Chains A and B, each alone.
Chain A
Amino acid sequence: MPPMALQPGFELGGPLGAVPERVWLALAVFVLAVVLAWLVVKINAGLLRRAGLPETIEGTAFERTVRGIGTSTVAILSQLSGWFIVILGAIVAISIAERSYAEQFWSQATGFFPSFFVAVLILIVGVIVGDKVELVLSERLRSVKLPQIGIVPTTAKYSVFYVAFVLALDQIGVATFALVVLLALYTLALVVFTVVAGKQLLTSAAAGLYLFLNEPYGIGDEVKIGDERGIVQEIDLFVTHIESDGEEYIVPNDRVFEGGIVIVHDG
């Protein structure tokens, strides 16, 4: 049998043959990027779903809005990663096909491009987290029947939005110094107010923690804290309830440390 001559490749005839090899390579890169993107979208969506994201963000304003336009947060987040890869593939492909063109235009754009995607991601995550914080807080505060309490969840939501916004702007290189200073001032004010207003509560809670861990006296013991003497009815983080002769004293726990306690044995 005569040995068969193997053709190592094939030549394209006609007009297609005129297309330079570089362009085919670029096309292959782009197709590869699209396939990769499709895979990443599928895998990401699966991962996010398995991580329980849909249940966690259920009921947030963002999720409801995107549901309204016929998609879901999981789809948007996973497609974002897909688009990132597709556009990256397109840039690489173009730079392979037209080297000079790419150098002129894309050299700056490619540097900017990943940060832009990160910024968009931060914004979306920020909006969702803010919504979720508002939901959780208002759920927690529902038993508090005070109309003005509604401002707390809203403030928390916009604080999270603001942080996300500043982070996102910072990603794409916008000067955010003034905004960061504003954020720092806001945080400082919050901390100072909490400390000043809640000093008594904080010291009581610290003392209460000690009482919880060591339990120097328990429910049913007869004790004397300051001038009040009676039977301990209840101990919680902030206060101790002491009862004698139908009168119930509610003593803040920091008093226990200020004045000490007397435990009465067989009074």
Chain B
Amino acid sequence: MSTPADLLDDLTADLDALFVFSPSSGFYDRFEDLDGEVVVIAPENVVDAETFVELPLEFENVRDRIKFGVEGAMDRGVVDDGDEVGCVVSVFDDHDSLVRVQADESMHSGVYDLFANSRADPGVIRDVFEVVIELGKKGQKGKPVGALFVIGDAGKVMNKSRPLSYNPFEKSHVHVGDPIVNVMLKEFSRLDGAFVISDSGKIVSAYRYLEPGAEGVDIPKGLGTRHMAGAAVTRATNATAIVLSESDGMVRAFKGGELILEIDPEDY
């Protein structure tokens, strides 16, 4: 006679670390006495966990969420290449699944790198993502809209681009994440060209025509000029580009000339 627990034994056998995603404090208490590493991965460290990886977005896709957590933990040296990790995640209800993964190079998608090791502050990239996702969901007055944000290394980006018209953000000191700015960016998103945002989140310019060399930029075929320009500028500078596609409504992030993350705004 065997029970389901026996059959699933090998799922929990010899785990090097246990990752708990967005636990409530009551739920986390159950893990505290566990031998071995317990890592909390959540938007905020509400349970005062010792090892904590900040989740900048509540990734709807569970694979993305787990990849982000594993990458973050590997980056901090909490788990090593080849470690077996159990992930307690929520798919339908609160913490209803256990996923066993092996931490290795194949988990490395660069999503963690995109947030944690970019030139710009992680909070700034997160704020821009939020704006872009909202823009992608609602569009401009109900119509789909495209947008291109170049974040970080603003000095270099400004030198590799030229203005298409007067810069509406000239002599202004607004930062992404300020309450009124989301509305402003939405309004300005109908302008052509890119938004340039500095490391600390200051909106430097709108209406920029990016002109970096596009040699050697390898992005999936079928993406338009906006994506190409975004990818190319991240290759020529240390910036990160977040692009909202007008045609398919997807949000894509580029770094170092490569497509790092692709998400559907409707999932958030």
Q: Is the CB of B154 within 8 A of A233?
A: yes
Report Cα–Cα, A222/B158, bound state, in Å: 11
Q: Is the CB of B173 within 8 A of A231?
A: no
Task: Choose from A212, A215, A219, A236 the contact partner of B154 (Cβ within 8 Å).
Answer: A219
What 0/1 readout, one digit per residue, does chain A (199-226) give for beta carbons within 8 Å of chain B?
0000000000000100100111010000
B252 at the interface (CB under 8 A from A): no
B225 at the interface (CB under 8 A from A): no
A103 at the interface (CB under 8 A from B): no
Q: Is the CB of B204 within 8 A of A218?
A: yes
Q: Nearest residue in A to B159 (C-beta to C-beta)?
A: A220
Report Cα–Cα, A232/B153, bound state, in Å: 10
A134 at the interface (CB under 8 A from B): no
Determine the chain B residues whose CB is within 8 A of the CB of A219 once the complex forms: 154-155, 158, 196, 198, 202, 204
What 0/1 readout, one digit per residue, does chain B (185-219) give for beta carbons within 8 Å of chain A?
00000000000101110101000000000000000
Determine how close the nearest CB of chain B comes to the CB of A267; give it in whole angstroms: 11
Determine the chain A residues whose CB is within 8 A of the CB of B202 once the complex forms: 219, 234
Task: Choose from A212, A215, A233 the contact partner of B198 (Cβ within 8 Å).
Answer: A233
Determine the chain B residues whose CB is within 8 A of the CB of A220 once the complex forms: 154-155, 157-159, 204
Question: Which B147-188 residues have a C-beta within 8 angstroms of A?
Answer: 153-159, 170-171, 173
Report Cα–Cα, A234/B124, bound state, in Å: 14
Q: Is the CB of B155 within 8 A of A233?
A: yes
Q: Nearest residue in A to B154 (C-beta to C-beta)?
A: A219
Q: Is the CB of B199 within 8 A of A233?
A: yes
Report Cα–Cα, A222/B204, bound state, in Å: 15
A131 at the interface (CB under 8 A from B): no
Q: Is the CB of A231 within 8 A of B156?
A: yes
Band of interface residues on A: 10 to 19
Report Cα–Cα, A155/B156, bound state, in Å: 45
Indicate whether A243 sits within 8 Å of B200 (C-beta atoms), given known contacts A212-B173, A215-B171: no
Determine the chain A residues whose CB is within 8 A of the CB of B200 once the complex forms: 234, 236
Determine how close the nearest CB of chain B comes to the CB of A89; give it in whole angstroms: 50
Determine how close the nearest CB of chain B comes to the CB of A241; give it in whole angstroms: 8
Q: Nearest residue in A to B199 (C-beta to C-beta)?
A: A234
Report Cα–Cα, A231/B204, bound state, in Å: 14
Determine how close the nearest CB of chain A comes to the CB of B112; give it in whole angstroms: 21
Report Cα–Cα, A260/B158, bound state, in Å: 23
Report Cα–Cα, A215/B204, bound state, in Å: 12
19 contacts between A and B (CB under 8 A): A212-B173, A215-B171, A218-B170, A219-B158, A219-B196, A219-B202, A220-B154, A220-B155, A220-B158, A220-B159, A231-B156, A231-B159, A232-B155, A233-B155, A233-B199, A234-B154, A234-B155, A234-B199, A243-B156
* New A-B contacts (13) at CB < 8 Å, excluding given A212-B173, A234-B200: A219-B154, A219-B196, A219-B198, A219-B204, A220-B158, A220-B159, A220-B204, A231-B159, A233-B156, A233-B198, A234-B155, A241-B199, A243-B155
Closest 7 CB pairs of A and B: A220-B158, A231-B155, A233-B155, A219-B204, A219-B154, A220-B155, A215-B171
